[in-house]
C-alpha cells in the first residue's frame, strides 16, 4: 500500500487540521510515520513540511499558537502605508520568515524524512524567449529524478506556498498555492505517477489517501443574475476560487481512487465564519477540530477502522 496525507490551505485555520491529526494519531499512532507522501498547500504546506522534517503534531500546534499574533501583525504604520489594505497586502512575511528559519534552519527538501508535494504559483517564469514567457503553477517536491526540487530550501518553499494574495506580498515571484490547488490531494496522486521520478510509481489501486481540511465556512452569494463588475467581484473572488479548487480535487479523487480515498472537511456552524488571519480565535479553532464530526455519515470509529484496514 502507498499512503498519502494531504492538508488544505486556510491560514490560522490550520489549527483545525492539527487538532484533527492529534485526534487520529491518538488512536492510530503510526498515522504520520507510515505516510509515504505529505502534501500541503499554504498553511497545509507548512504543516506538511514540518511533519516531514520530524516535528510532532504538538510542535506544529505550538508554532501556530505561539506565533499567530506575530505572523498576522497588522501594525498601524502598515495600515497607513497601504491605506488599510487598499494598495498593499495586509501583512508582510518578515515575521513568518523568521519563525520558519528557527524551525527549519538551512534544511533542504532533500533532507526531509518524507516525500512532499507543495503547490505554489509562479507569476513569471522569466523565459528569455518571449513566446514562452508566462505564469504557471509550480509543484515543489523532493521525489528523486530530473524534475526534483530537492535542493530548494524548506523555508523558501514554505514562504512560496503561503504568500496568499491580499494577505501577504508575493515571495520571490511566487504566490499562494491555493490559487492552484488549495486541496492538493489530486496533485499528490499525479506526482506519484510522474515518469521523471526514479521511484517506482505505485498503481492507483495501491494508493490510500486521507485528505484533511481546515474547516469550511458556509458561503453563498444571493441573487440569480448578478451584473457585477470588478469592484463587486474583487472582495469574494479570492475565497470563491479557493473553495472551488478544493471541490475539484475532492471530485477527482472520489471518482478515481474511490474507496481508497477519504476526506475530512468539517463545516463550521452557519453562524460562524472564521477568516484565515483571525489568530485571536485560535482556541475556538482547536475546540472545533476536537469536537467536529470527522465525516457526516461516519463516526470517529469508522474513520479509524478505515485507517487501520488500509494499513496505517
Catalytic residues: 42, 176
Q: Is 81 exposed, middle or buried (0-12, 13-18, 19+ CB in 10 A)?
A: exposed
For residues 276 and 12, the answer to whether their CB atoms sit within 8 Å is yes
Instruction: List the Cα angle 39/236/178 in 5-degree steps.
Output: 15
Phi, psi of 47 (to 5 degrees): -65, -45
Cβ atoms within 10 Å, residue 143: 21
Among residues 25, 2, 14, 6, which one has the least CA distance to residue 162?
14
User: Residue 102 half-sphere exposure, CB side, CA atoms within 13 Å?
Assistant: 10
Amino acid at each position: 500500500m502507498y499512503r498519502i496525507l494531504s492538508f488544505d490551505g486556510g491560514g490560522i485555520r490550520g489549527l483545525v487540521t492539527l487538532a484533527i491529526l492529534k485526534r487520529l494519531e491518538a488512536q492510530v499512532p503510526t498515522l504520520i510515520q507510515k505516510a509515504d507522501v505529505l502534501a500541503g498547500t499554504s498553511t497545509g504546506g507548512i504543516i506538511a513540511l514540518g511533519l516531514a522534517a520530524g516535528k510532532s503534531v504538538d510542535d506544529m500546534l505550538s508554532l501556530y499558537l505561539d506565533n499567530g499574533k506575530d505572523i498576522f501583525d497588522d501594525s498601524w504604520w502598515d495600515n497607513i502605508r497601504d491605506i488599510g489594505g487598499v494598495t498593499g497586502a495586509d501583512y508582510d512575511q518578515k515575521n513568518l520568515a523568521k519563525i520558519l528559519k528557527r524551525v527549519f534552519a538551512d534544511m533542504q527538501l532533500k533532507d526531509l524524512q518524507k516525500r512532499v508535494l507543495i503547490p505554489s504559483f509562479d507569476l513569471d517564469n522569466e523565459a528569455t524567449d518571449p513566446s514562452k514567457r508566462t505564469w504557471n503553477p509550480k509543484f515543489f517536491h523532493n521525489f528523486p529524478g530530473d524534475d526534483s526540487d530537492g535542493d530548494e530550501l524548506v523555508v523558501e518553499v514554505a514562504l512560496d506556498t503561503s504568500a496568499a494574495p491580499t494577505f501577504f506580498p508575493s515571495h520571490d515571484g511566487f504566490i499562494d498555492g491555493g490559487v492552484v490547488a488549495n486541496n492538493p490531494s489530486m496533485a499528490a496522486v499525479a506526482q506519484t505517477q510522474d515518469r521523471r521520478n526514479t521511484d517506482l510509481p505505485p498503481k492507483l489501486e495501491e494508493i490510500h489517501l486521507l485528505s484533511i481540511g481546515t474547516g469550511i465556512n458556509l458561503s453563498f452569494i444571493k441573487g440569480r443574475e448578478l451584473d457585477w463588475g470588478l469592484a463587486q467581484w474583487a472582495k469574494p473572488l479570492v475565497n470563491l476560487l479557493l473553495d472551488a479548487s478544493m471541490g475539484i480535487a475532492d471530485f477527482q479523487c472520489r471518482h478515481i481512487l474511490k474507496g481508497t480515498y477519504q476526506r475530512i472537511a468539517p463545516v463550521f456552524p452557519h453562524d460562524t465564519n472564521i477568516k484565515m488571519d483571525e489568530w485571536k480565535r485560535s482556541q475556538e479553532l482547536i475546540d472545533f477540530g476536537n469536537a467536529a464530526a470527522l465525516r457526516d455519515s461516519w463516526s470517529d470509529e469508522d474513520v479509524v477502522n478505515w485507517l487501520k484496514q488500509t494499513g496505517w
